Structure 1
Protein backbone atom coordinates (compact mmCIF):
# COMPACT_ATOMS: atom_id res chain seq x y z
CA UNK A 1 0.00 0.00 0.00
CA UNK A 2 1.28 3.48 -0.84
CA UNK A 3 0.90 4.85 2.70
CA UNK A 4 1.80 8.46 1.97
CA UNK A 5 -0.77 8.94 -0.78
CA UNK A 6 -3.36 6.93 1.17
CA UNK A 7 -3.27 9.17 4.23
CA UNK A 8 -2.94 12.33 2.15
CA UNK A 9 -6.26 11.36 0.55
CA UNK A 10 -7.92 10.81 3.93
CA UNK A 11 -6.78 14.17 5.28
CA UNK A 12 -7.84 15.96 2.10
CA UNK A 13 -11.29 14.41 2.22
CA UNK A 14 -11.73 15.37 5.86
CA UNK A 15 -10.93 19.04 5.26
CA UNK A 16 -12.80 19.17 1.96
CA UNK A 17 -16.09 18.07 3.48
CA UNK A 18 -15.87 19.26 7.08
CA UNK A 19 -18.08 22.29 6.32
CA UNK A 20 -20.93 19.92 5.49
CA UNK A 21 -20.83 18.04 8.80
CA UNK A 22 -24.19 19.19 10.09
CA UNK A 23 -27.13 18.27 7.90
CA UNK A 24 -30.79 19.21 8.26
CA UNK A 25 -32.34 16.62 5.95
CA UNK A 26 -32.98 13.08 7.12
CA UNK A 27 -30.00 10.73 7.07
CA UNK A 28 -29.91 7.10 8.19
CA UNK A 29 -26.76 7.91 10.17
CA UNK A 30 -25.93 9.78 13.33
CA UNK A 31 -22.51 11.41 13.78
CA UNK A 32 -21.20 13.64 16.54
CA UNK A 33 -18.01 15.64 16.43
CA UNK A 34 -17.24 15.03 20.10
CA UNK A 35 -17.50 11.29 19.52
CA UNK A 36 -16.20 10.74 16.01
CA UNK A 37 -13.33 13.23 16.06
CA UNK A 38 -11.51 11.51 18.97
CA UNK A 39 -12.10 8.13 17.31
CA UNK A 40 -10.55 9.31 14.06
CA UNK A 41 -7.67 10.96 15.93
CA UNK A 42 -7.00 7.75 17.87
CA UNK A 43 -7.09 5.66 14.71
CA UNK A 44 -4.72 8.04 12.94
CA UNK A 45 -2.39 7.69 15.91
CA UNK A 46 -2.48 3.90 15.56
CA UNK A 47 -1.75 4.26 11.86
CA UNK A 48 1.27 6.44 12.61
CA UNK A 49 2.49 3.88 15.14
CA UNK A 50 2.02 1.06 12.64
CA UNK A 51 3.88 2.95 9.92
CA UNK A 52 6.73 3.60 12.34
CA UNK A 53 6.98 -0.12 13.11
CA UNK A 54 6.94 -0.94 9.39
CA UNK A 55 9.70 1.59 8.75
CA UNK A 56 11.89 -0.06 11.36
CA UNK A 57 11.44 -3.64 10.16
CA UNK A 58 14.62 -5.58 9.51
CA UNK A 59 15.79 -6.97 6.20
CA UNK A 60 16.30 -10.68 5.78
CA UNK A 61 19.82 -11.86 6.38
CA UNK A 62 21.44 -13.97 3.65
CA UNK A 63 21.29 -16.95 5.99
CA UNK A 64 17.54 -16.44 6.48
CA UNK A 65 17.03 -16.03 2.73
CA UNK A 66 18.93 -19.22 1.95
CA UNK A 67 16.92 -21.07 4.58
CA UNK A 68 13.59 -20.27 2.90
CA UNK A 69 11.92 -23.27 1.32
CA UNK A 70 8.69 -23.35 -0.68
CA UNK A 71 7.78 -26.61 1.00
CA UNK A 72 7.51 -24.75 4.31
CA UNK A 73 4.85 -22.39 2.93
CA UNK A 74 1.23 -22.95 4.02
CA UNK A 75 -0.26 -25.49 1.61
CA UNK A 76 -2.89 -23.19 0.07
CA UNK A 77 -0.16 -20.61 -0.62
CA UNK A 78 2.60 -22.93 -1.79
CA UNK A 79 1.73 -22.80 -5.49
CA UNK A 80 2.18 -19.01 -5.66
CA UNK A 81 5.52 -18.87 -3.83
CA UNK A 82 7.89 -17.35 -6.37
CA UNK A 83 5.26 -15.33 -8.26
CA UNK A 84 6.44 -12.03 -9.69
CA UNK A 85 4.97 -9.59 -12.22
CA UNK A 86 5.85 -5.92 -12.33
CA UNK A 87 2.96 -5.29 -14.75
CA UNK A 88 0.41 -6.88 -12.40
CA UNK A 89 1.78 -4.77 -9.57
CA UNK A 90 1.29 -1.55 -11.58
CA UNK A 91 -2.12 -2.66 -12.87
CA UNK A 92 -3.36 -3.29 -9.33
CA UNK A 93 -3.15 0.43 -8.56
CA UNK A 94 -5.87 1.26 -11.12
CA UNK A 95 -8.82 -0.35 -9.28
CA UNK A 96 -7.10 0.45 -5.97
CA UNK A 97 -7.21 4.22 -6.49
CA UNK A 98 -10.53 4.06 -8.35
CA UNK A 99 -12.17 2.56 -5.27
CA UNK A 100 -11.19 5.63 -3.21
CA UNK A 101 -12.83 7.92 -5.74
CA UNK A 102 -16.07 5.93 -5.70
CA UNK A 103 -17.24 7.17 -2.29
CA UNK A 104 -17.18 10.93 -3.01
CA UNK A 105 -18.47 10.38 -6.55
CA UNK A 106 -21.42 8.30 -5.34
CA UNK A 107 -22.14 10.79 -2.55
CA UNK A 108 -22.28 13.59 -5.11
CA UNK A 109 -24.23 11.78 -7.84
CA UNK A 110 -26.88 10.08 -5.70
CA UNK A 111 -29.58 12.59 -4.86
CA UNK A 112 -30.37 10.97 -1.51
CA UNK A 113 -26.75 11.23 -0.38
CA UNK A 114 -25.82 14.56 -1.93
CA UNK A 115 -26.95 16.80 0.93
CA UNK A 116 -25.17 14.51 3.42
CA UNK A 117 -21.85 14.37 1.60
CA UNK A 118 -19.90 15.69 4.58
CA UNK A 119 -21.34 13.12 6.95
CA UNK A 120 -20.73 10.29 4.49
CA UNK A 121 -17.13 11.33 4.02
CA UNK A 122 -16.54 11.45 7.77
CA UNK A 123 -17.74 7.85 7.94
CA UNK A 124 -15.53 7.00 4.98
CA UNK A 125 -12.48 8.44 6.73
CA UNK A 126 -13.32 6.41 9.84
CA UNK A 127 -13.69 3.27 7.74
CA UNK A 128 -10.36 3.72 6.00
CA UNK A 129 -8.64 4.67 9.25
CA UNK A 130 -9.89 1.47 10.92
CA UNK A 131 -8.64 -0.59 7.98
CA UNK A 132 -5.36 1.29 7.86
CA UNK A 133 -4.71 0.78 11.57
CA UNK A 134 -5.37 -2.96 11.31
CA UNK A 135 -3.08 -3.22 8.29
CA UNK A 136 -0.14 -1.11 9.44
CA UNK A 137 0.05 -2.65 12.91
CA UNK A 138 -0.19 -6.19 11.56
CA UNK A 139 2.24 -5.62 8.70
CA UNK A 140 4.66 -4.00 11.11
CA UNK A 141 4.50 -6.68 13.79
CA UNK A 142 4.25 -9.81 11.64
CA UNK A 143 7.21 -10.95 9.57
CA UNK A 144 6.18 -12.88 6.50
CA UNK A 145 8.13 -12.82 3.26
CA UNK A 146 6.25 -11.96 0.11
CA UNK A 147 5.89 -14.65 -2.60
CA UNK A 148 8.44 -12.85 -4.76
CA UNK A 149 11.13 -13.52 -2.14
CA UNK A 150 11.01 -17.17 -3.20
CA UNK A 151 11.84 -16.22 -6.81
CA UNK A 152 15.52 -17.02 -7.26
CA UNK A 153 15.64 -15.09 -10.56
CA UNK A 154 15.21 -11.77 -8.77
CA UNK A 155 18.17 -9.78 -7.43
CA UNK A 156 19.13 -10.69 -3.89
CA UNK A 157 18.73 -7.05 -2.81
CA UNK A 158 15.06 -7.12 -3.82
CA UNK A 159 14.44 -10.40 -2.02
CA UNK A 160 15.96 -9.38 1.32
CA UNK A 161 14.55 -5.83 1.29
CA UNK A 162 12.46 -5.06 4.40
CA UNK A 163 9.48 -4.09 2.23
CA UNK A 164 9.45 -7.66 0.93
CA UNK A 165 8.98 -9.01 4.47
CA UNK A 166 5.45 -7.71 5.07
CA UNK A 167 3.22 -9.98 3.08
CA UNK A 168 0.72 -10.45 5.92
CA UNK A 169 -1.85 -9.18 5.28
CA UNK A 170 -2.79 -7.64 1.90
CA UNK A 171 -3.15 -3.89 2.44
CA UNK A 172 -4.21 -3.02 -1.11
CA UNK A 173 -6.94 -5.64 -1.03
CA UNK A 174 -8.12 -4.56 2.42
CA UNK A 175 -8.27 -0.86 1.54
CA UNK A 176 -10.09 -1.53 -1.74
CA UNK A 177 -12.60 -3.82 -0.02
CA UNK A 178 -13.19 -1.24 2.71
CA UNK A 179 -13.86 1.50 0.17
CA UNK A 180 -16.04 -0.54 -2.19
CA UNK A 181 -18.14 -2.24 0.49
CA UNK A 182 -18.55 1.12 2.24
CA UNK A 183 -19.99 2.57 -0.99
CA UNK A 184 -22.40 -0.35 -1.34
CA UNK A 185 -23.49 -0.24 2.29
CA UNK A 186 -24.10 3.51 2.27
CA UNK A 187 -25.94 3.30 -1.06
CA UNK A 188 -28.23 0.63 0.37
CA UNK A 189 -28.93 2.60 3.53
CA UNK A 190 -29.79 5.76 1.62
CA UNK A 191 -31.68 3.89 -1.12
CA UNK A 192 -33.31 0.86 0.53
CA UNK A 193 -35.82 0.38 -2.29
CA UNK A 194 -33.40 0.80 -5.20
CA UNK A 195 -33.34 -1.94 -7.82
CA UNK A 196 -29.67 -1.15 -8.41
CA UNK A 197 -28.60 -2.59 -5.06
CA UNK A 198 -27.60 -6.06 -6.36
CA UNK A 199 -25.41 -4.50 -9.03
CA UNK A 200 -23.77 -2.12 -6.56
CA UNK A 201 -22.97 -5.00 -4.20
CA UNK A 202 -21.70 -7.13 -7.07
CA UNK A 203 -19.31 -4.36 -8.09
CA UNK A 204 -18.26 -3.92 -4.45
CA UNK A 205 -17.31 -7.59 -4.29
CA UNK A 206 -15.61 -7.73 -7.69
CA UNK A 207 -13.27 -4.73 -7.42
CA UNK A 208 -11.26 -5.87 -4.37
CA UNK A 209 -11.25 -9.43 -5.74
CA UNK A 210 -9.58 -8.05 -8.86
CA UNK A 211 -7.01 -6.19 -6.78
CA UNK A 212 -6.36 -9.33 -4.76
CA UNK A 213 -5.80 -11.37 -7.92
CA UNK A 214 -3.35 -8.82 -9.29
CA UNK A 215 -1.45 -8.63 -5.99
CA UNK A 216 -1.28 -12.44 -6.02
CA UNK A 217 0.03 -12.46 -9.58
CA UNK A 218 2.51 -9.69 -8.78
CA UNK A 219 4.05 -11.76 -6.01
CA UNK A 220 3.18 -9.21 -3.37
CA UNK A 221 0.81 -11.38 -1.32
CA UNK A 222 -0.23 -14.98 -0.87
CA UNK A 223 -3.83 -16.14 -1.20
CA UNK A 224 -4.32 -16.27 2.57
CA UNK A 225 -3.04 -12.68 2.87
CA UNK A 226 -5.61 -11.56 0.32
CA UNK A 227 -8.46 -13.50 1.91
CA UNK A 228 -7.80 -11.94 5.30
CA UNK A 229 -7.33 -8.47 3.81
CA UNK A 230 -10.58 -8.81 1.88
CA UNK A 231 -12.47 -9.90 5.01
CA UNK A 232 -11.07 -7.12 7.20
CA UNK A 233 -11.73 -4.42 4.60
CA UNK A 234 -15.24 -5.63 3.81
CA UNK A 235 -16.03 -5.88 7.51
CA UNK A 236 -14.90 -2.32 8.17
CA UNK A 237 -16.79 -1.02 5.12
CA UNK A 238 -20.03 -2.52 6.38
CA UNK A 239 -19.71 -2.19 10.15
CA UNK A 240 -18.62 1.45 10.47
CA UNK A 241 -21.76 2.77 8.73
CA UNK A 242 -23.92 0.18 10.50
CA UNK A 243 -22.68 1.28 13.92
CA UNK A 244 -23.68 4.86 13.08
CA UNK A 245 -27.23 4.06 11.98
CA UNK A 246 -29.94 5.94 13.85
CA UNK A 247 -32.18 2.90 14.09
CA UNK A 248 -29.54 0.89 15.94
CA UNK A 249 -29.79 0.43 19.66
CA UNK A 250 -26.54 -1.28 20.46
CA UNK A 251 -25.66 -3.17 23.56
CA UNK A 252 -22.00 -3.95 24.25
CA UNK A 253 -21.27 -5.89 27.41
CA UNK A 254 -18.16 -7.42 28.91
CA UNK A 255 -18.97 -9.82 31.74
CA UNK A 256 -17.15 -12.56 33.67
CA UNK A 257 -17.69 -16.06 32.30
CA UNK A 258 -17.15 -19.12 34.46
CA UNK A 259 -17.57 -22.83 33.93
CA UNK A 260 -16.33 -26.14 35.26
CA UNK A 261 -13.09 -26.02 33.30
CA UNK A 262 -12.54 -22.36 32.49
CA UNK A 263 -12.68 -18.78 33.68
CA UNK A 264 -12.61 -15.69 31.53
CA UNK A 265 -14.55 -12.80 30.05
CA UNK A 266 -17.56 -12.84 27.78
CA UNK A 267 -17.88 -10.08 25.16
CA UNK A 268 -21.35 -9.65 23.66
CA UNK A 269 -22.46 -7.17 21.02
CA UNK A 270 -26.12 -7.04 20.04
CA UNK A 271 -28.01 -5.02 17.44
CA UNK A 272 -31.61 -4.09 18.16
CA UNK A 273 -33.94 -2.57 15.59
Structure 2
Protein backbone atom coordinates (compact mmCIF):
# COMPACT_ATOMS: atom_id res chain seq x y z
CA UNK A 1 0.00 0.00 0.00
CA UNK A 2 2.59 2.49 -1.18
CA UNK A 3 0.17 5.03 -2.67
CA UNK A 4 -3.00 5.13 -0.54
CA UNK A 5 -4.24 8.51 -1.70
CA UNK A 6 -3.98 7.88 -5.46
CA UNK A 7 -5.75 4.55 -4.97
CA UNK A 8 -8.54 6.23 -2.99
CA UNK A 9 -8.83 8.97 -5.60
CA UNK A 10 -8.98 6.52 -8.51
CA UNK A 11 -11.67 4.46 -6.75
CA UNK A 12 -13.70 7.60 -6.08
CA UNK A 13 -13.47 8.81 -9.67
CA UNK A 14 -14.31 5.30 -10.92
CA UNK A 15 -17.51 5.43 -8.88
CA UNK A 16 -18.32 8.82 -10.38
CA UNK A 17 -17.75 7.65 -13.95
CA UNK A 18 -19.77 4.44 -13.46
CA UNK A 19 -22.66 6.42 -12.03
CA UNK A 20 -22.51 8.93 -14.87
CA UNK A 21 -22.87 6.10 -17.35
CA UNK A 22 -25.44 4.03 -15.47
CA UNK A 23 -28.98 3.66 -16.87
CA UNK A 24 -31.36 6.31 -15.64
CA UNK A 25 -28.73 8.90 -14.78
CA UNK A 26 -28.34 10.23 -18.32
CA UNK A 27 -31.91 11.52 -18.48
CA UNK A 28 -32.79 15.06 -17.50
CA UNK A 29 -34.09 15.28 -13.92
CA UNK A 30 -37.79 16.07 -13.80
CA UNK A 31 -39.74 17.00 -10.69
CA UNK A 32 -43.05 16.49 -12.44
CA UNK A 33 -42.62 12.79 -13.19
CA UNK A 34 -42.73 10.06 -10.57
CA UNK A 35 -39.57 8.00 -10.97
CA UNK A 36 -39.11 4.33 -10.11
CA UNK A 37 -37.01 3.59 -7.05
CA UNK A 38 -33.34 3.79 -8.14
CA UNK A 39 -32.41 0.30 -6.96
CA UNK A 40 -29.51 -0.08 -9.39
CA UNK A 41 -28.29 3.45 -8.75
CA UNK A 42 -27.94 2.85 -5.02
CA UNK A 43 -26.08 -0.46 -5.47
CA UNK A 44 -22.62 1.13 -5.33
CA UNK A 45 -23.18 3.25 -2.18
CA UNK A 46 -24.99 0.35 -0.50
CA UNK A 47 -21.98 -1.87 -1.18
CA UNK A 48 -19.64 0.74 0.30
CA UNK A 49 -21.77 1.00 3.45
CA UNK A 50 -21.90 -2.78 3.76
CA UNK A 51 -18.10 -2.95 3.51
CA UNK A 52 -17.80 -0.48 6.38
CA UNK A 53 -20.27 -2.34 8.59
CA UNK A 54 -18.59 -5.70 7.98
CA UNK A 55 -15.18 -4.15 8.76
CA UNK A 56 -16.22 -3.41 12.33
CA UNK A 57 -16.09 -7.11 13.28
CA UNK A 58 -14.13 -8.77 10.47
CA UNK A 59 -10.53 -9.37 11.54
CA UNK A 60 -9.08 -9.34 8.02
CA UNK A 61 -10.72 -6.01 7.15
CA UNK A 62 -9.69 -4.61 10.54
CA UNK A 63 -6.13 -5.51 9.61
CA UNK A 64 -6.56 -3.53 6.37
CA UNK A 65 -7.58 -0.57 8.54
CA UNK A 66 -4.49 -1.00 10.71
CA UNK A 67 -2.19 -1.26 7.72
CA UNK A 68 -3.60 1.92 6.25
CA UNK A 69 -3.13 3.70 9.56
CA UNK A 70 0.49 2.57 9.77
CA UNK A 71 1.05 3.79 6.22
CA UNK A 72 -0.36 7.25 6.98
CA UNK A 73 0.36 7.66 10.67
CA UNK A 74 3.68 6.23 11.82
CA UNK A 75 5.52 6.73 15.07
CA UNK A 76 7.04 9.79 13.39
CA UNK A 77 4.27 12.33 13.96
CA UNK A 78 3.26 14.76 11.26
CA UNK A 79 1.33 17.99 11.41
CA UNK A 80 -2.43 17.62 11.22
CA UNK A 81 -4.30 19.61 8.58
CA UNK A 82 -7.63 21.33 9.25
CA UNK A 83 -8.55 22.00 5.62
CA UNK A 84 -10.88 18.98 5.62
CA UNK A 85 -13.25 20.94 7.88
CA UNK A 86 -13.82 23.36 5.00
CA UNK A 87 -13.17 21.15 1.98
CA UNK A 88 -16.18 18.99 2.80
CA UNK A 89 -18.50 21.86 1.82
CA UNK A 90 -16.71 22.84 -1.40
CA UNK A 91 -18.79 20.84 -3.94
CA UNK A 92 -22.07 22.22 -2.57
CA UNK A 93 -20.70 25.76 -2.55
CA UNK A 94 -19.63 25.20 -6.17
CA UNK A 95 -23.24 24.49 -7.18
CA UNK A 96 -24.36 27.92 -5.98
CA UNK A 97 -21.22 29.60 -7.27
CA UNK A 98 -21.69 28.19 -10.77
CA UNK A 99 -25.32 29.29 -10.81
CA UNK A 100 -24.29 32.76 -9.66
CA UNK A 101 -21.88 32.92 -12.62
CA UNK A 102 -24.71 32.09 -15.02
CA UNK A 103 -23.89 28.39 -15.52
CA UNK A 104 -27.32 26.92 -14.81
CA UNK A 105 -27.77 23.53 -13.25
CA UNK A 106 -30.72 21.12 -13.39
CA UNK A 107 -32.90 22.95 -10.86
CA UNK A 108 -33.72 26.47 -9.71
CA UNK A 109 -32.56 27.93 -6.39
CA UNK A 110 -35.61 26.82 -4.41
CA UNK A 111 -35.68 23.26 -5.70
CA UNK A 112 -31.97 22.58 -5.38
CA UNK A 113 -31.86 24.11 -1.90
CA UNK A 114 -34.65 21.88 -0.62
CA UNK A 115 -33.09 18.85 -2.33
CA UNK A 116 -29.76 19.57 -0.64
CA UNK A 117 -31.57 20.13 2.66
CA UNK A 118 -33.25 16.73 2.33
CA UNK A 119 -29.91 15.14 1.50
CA UNK A 120 -28.32 16.72 4.56
CA UNK A 121 -31.18 15.56 6.79
CA UNK A 122 -30.96 11.96 5.55
CA UNK A 123 -27.16 11.90 5.74
CA UNK A 124 -27.06 13.41 9.23
CA UNK A 125 -29.63 10.94 10.56
CA UNK A 126 -27.71 7.94 9.20
CA UNK A 127 -24.34 9.22 10.45
CA UNK A 128 -25.68 10.08 13.91
CA UNK A 129 -27.39 6.68 14.21
CA UNK A 130 -24.31 4.85 12.98
CA UNK A 131 -22.02 6.58 15.46
CA UNK A 132 -24.44 5.97 18.33
CA UNK A 133 -24.83 2.26 17.57
CA UNK A 134 -21.32 1.25 16.47
CA UNK A 135 -19.33 2.93 19.28
CA UNK A 136 -16.21 2.47 17.14
CA UNK A 137 -13.10 4.11 18.62
CA UNK A 138 -11.20 6.57 16.48
CA UNK A 139 -7.63 5.65 15.50
CA UNK A 140 -6.30 8.37 17.81
CA UNK A 141 -8.43 7.08 20.71
CA UNK A 142 -10.10 10.47 21.26
CA UNK A 143 -13.68 9.11 21.36
CA UNK A 144 -15.92 6.25 20.19
CA UNK A 145 -17.66 8.10 17.36
CA UNK A 146 -15.49 6.98 14.48
CA UNK A 147 -17.98 5.05 12.31
CA UNK A 148 -18.98 6.32 9.82
CA UNK A 149 -16.99 9.43 8.89
CA UNK A 150 -19.31 12.45 9.03
CA UNK A 151 -16.89 14.72 7.15
CA UNK A 152 -16.60 12.18 4.33
CA UNK A 153 -20.36 11.61 4.20
CA UNK A 154 -20.95 15.34 3.96
CA UNK A 155 -18.31 15.73 1.24
CA UNK A 156 -19.67 12.90 -0.92
CA UNK A 157 -23.27 14.06 -0.45
CA UNK A 158 -22.16 17.45 -1.77
CA UNK A 159 -20.16 15.84 -4.60
CA UNK A 160 -23.17 13.82 -5.74
CA UNK A 161 -25.29 17.00 -5.47
CA UNK A 162 -22.83 18.77 -7.79
CA UNK A 163 -22.82 15.81 -10.20
CA UNK A 164 -26.60 15.55 -10.34
CA UNK A 165 -27.03 19.27 -10.95
CA UNK A 166 -24.39 19.52 -13.69
CA UNK A 167 -24.16 16.08 -15.29
CA UNK A 168 -25.96 17.37 -18.39
CA UNK A 169 -23.58 20.34 -18.67
CA UNK A 170 -20.29 18.48 -18.30
CA UNK A 171 -19.14 15.27 -16.62
CA UNK A 172 -16.06 17.12 -15.37
CA UNK A 173 -18.02 19.02 -12.73
CA UNK A 174 -18.86 15.69 -11.13
CA UNK A 175 -15.28 14.47 -11.50
CA UNK A 176 -14.01 17.60 -9.73
CA UNK A 177 -16.58 17.22 -6.95
CA UNK A 178 -15.67 13.59 -6.34
CA UNK A 179 -11.96 14.43 -6.38
CA UNK A 180 -12.55 16.99 -3.60
CA UNK A 181 -14.64 14.46 -1.66
CA UNK A 182 -11.92 11.82 -2.00
CA UNK A 183 -9.37 14.32 -0.74
CA UNK A 184 -11.56 15.03 2.29
CA UNK A 185 -11.76 11.31 3.07
CA UNK A 186 -8.01 10.92 2.69
CA UNK A 187 -7.36 13.84 5.06
CA UNK A 188 -9.60 12.25 7.71
CA UNK A 189 -7.26 9.25 7.67
CA UNK A 190 -4.15 11.42 7.36
CA UNK A 191 -5.24 13.31 10.50
CA UNK A 192 -5.70 9.97 12.30
CA UNK A 193 -9.41 10.66 12.89
CA UNK A 194 -10.87 7.77 10.90
CA UNK A 195 -10.19 4.26 9.71
CA UNK A 196 -10.38 3.36 6.03
CA UNK A 197 -13.68 1.56 6.59
CA UNK A 198 -15.13 4.71 8.22
CA UNK A 199 -14.27 6.70 5.12
CA UNK A 200 -15.59 4.11 2.66
CA UNK A 201 -18.89 3.82 4.55
CA UNK A 202 -19.12 7.61 4.93
CA UNK A 203 -18.73 8.02 1.18
CA UNK A 204 -21.52 5.50 0.61
CA UNK A 205 -23.80 7.27 3.08
CA UNK A 206 -23.23 10.62 1.39
CA UNK A 207 -23.94 9.36 -2.13
CA UNK A 208 -26.98 7.38 -1.00
CA UNK A 209 -28.43 10.36 0.89
CA UNK A 210 -28.31 12.65 -2.11
CA UNK A 211 -29.75 10.01 -4.44
CA UNK A 212 -32.64 9.43 -2.03
CA UNK A 213 -33.21 13.19 -1.79
CA UNK A 214 -33.57 13.49 -5.57
CA UNK A 215 -35.92 10.50 -5.60
CA UNK A 216 -38.11 11.83 -2.76
CA UNK A 217 -38.28 15.50 -3.71
CA UNK A 218 -40.97 15.27 -6.44
CA UNK A 219 -43.35 13.84 -3.82
CA UNK A 220 -42.26 16.43 -1.24
CA UNK A 221 -42.81 19.24 -3.74
CA UNK A 222 -46.31 18.04 -4.57
CA UNK A 223 -47.17 18.09 -0.87
CA UNK A 224 -45.86 21.64 -0.60
CA UNK A 225 -47.86 22.80 -3.60
CA UNK A 226 -51.11 21.54 -2.05
CA UNK A 227 -50.65 23.78 0.96
CA UNK A 228 -51.89 27.36 0.86
CA UNK A 229 -49.24 28.72 3.17
CA UNK A 230 -45.62 28.81 2.12
CA UNK A 231 -43.83 26.18 4.18
CA UNK A 232 -40.73 26.37 6.25
CA UNK A 233 -38.79 23.10 6.16
CA UNK A 234 -36.66 22.29 9.20
CA UNK A 235 -33.92 19.75 8.54
CA UNK A 236 -31.48 18.49 11.19
CA UNK A 237 -27.79 18.13 10.43
CA UNK A 238 -24.78 16.52 12.01
CA UNK A 239 -21.21 17.39 11.05
CA UNK A 240 -17.96 16.93 12.90
CA UNK A 241 -19.69 16.44 16.25
CA UNK A 242 -21.98 19.45 15.79
CA UNK A 243 -25.75 18.97 15.67
CA UNK A 244 -28.10 21.66 14.44
CA UNK A 245 -31.15 22.51 12.37
CA UNK A 246 -31.28 24.10 8.91
CA UNK A 247 -34.35 26.06 7.90
CA UNK A 248 -35.42 26.11 4.25
CA UNK A 249 -38.18 28.57 3.27
CA UNK A 250 -40.06 27.94 0.04
CA UNK A 251 -40.73 31.20 -1.81
- TM-score using structure 1 length: 0.52
Computing the radius of gyration over CA atoms, which structure comes out larger, 1 or 2?
1
State the alpha-carbon separation in 1 of the partners of residues 107 and 202 from structure 2: 32
Cα 1:200–1:238 change in 2 (3 A) is: farther
State the 1:170 CA deviation: 0.4
Shift of residue 233, structure 1, vs aligned partner: 0.4
In the other structure, the counterpart of 1:180 is 159
Please, which of 145, 162, 166 is the counterpart of residue 145 of structure 2?
Answer: 166
Q: Deviations over 1:149-168 (max 9, x none)?
A: 2xxxxxxxxx4xxxx21110
Contact 2:106-2:165 within 8 A present in 1 as well: no
Q: Which runs of 5+ in 1 are unaligned?
A: 1-25, 32-70, 150-158, 247-273
Q: Once the two structures are superposed, what CA deviation does each residue of 1:177-231 show, in whole Å capped at 9, x if it has no partner?
A: 001111110222xxx3x3xx22112112211110000000111100011001001
In structure 2, list runs of 5 or more residues that go unmatched.
1-27, 34-58, 220-251
Provide the C-alpha distance between the structure 2 equivalents of 1:106 and 1:233, rounded to a whole number of angstroms.
Answer: 21
C-alpha distance in 1, partners of 2:101/2:212?
Answer: 23
Aligned counterpart for 1:90 among listed residues 74, 79, 82: 82
Cα drift, residue 87 of structure 1: 4.4
**Map of 1:77 onto structure 2:** 65
Q: Report how far residue 239 of structure 1 moved.
A: 3.5
Q: Does 1:204 align with 2:177?
A: yes
Query: Cα deviation per residue 1:7-36 (whole Å; 9 max; x = unaligned)?
Result: xxxxxxxxxxxxxxxxxxx983259xxxxx
Do structure 1's residue 140 and structure 2's residue 113 form an aligned pair?
no
1:109 aligns with 2:109: no
1:214 aligns with 2:195: no
Q: Secondary structure at the match of 1:166?
A: coil
Structure 2 CA distance for aligned equivalents of residues 174 and 228 of structure 1 = 8
Change (3 A) 1:223 1:244: same
Give the match for residue 54 of structure 1.
none
Aligned partner of 1:29 in structure 2 is 31
Is the deviation greater in 233-242 or in 112-121?
112-121
- Cross-structure match for 1:41: none
Q: Which whole-Å deviations, capped at 9, do the CAs of 1:70-119 have from their partners, x for residues lacking one?
A: x8981210124474878444121231232342232234334544982111
Residues 27 and 116, structure 1, Cα contact 8 Å, conserved in 2: no
The answer to whether structure 1 residue 225 and structure 2 residue 198 are counterparts is yes
* Cα displacement (A) at 1:121: 0.4
The equivalent of 2:39 in structure 1 is none
CA drift at 1:124: 0.7
Moved more, 98-107 or 217-226: 98-107
Where does residue 237 of structure 2 map in the other structure? Answer: none
Query: Higher helix fraction: Structure 1 or Structure 2?
Result: 1
RMSD of aligned residue pairs (Cα, Å): 3.1
Partner of 1:128: 120
What secondary structure, in the 3-state scheme, does the structure 2 residue paired with 1:76 have?
A: helix
In 2: Cα distance, 1:115 partner to 1:167 partner: 35
Q: 4+ residue runs of structure 1 moved beyond 6 angstroms?
A: none
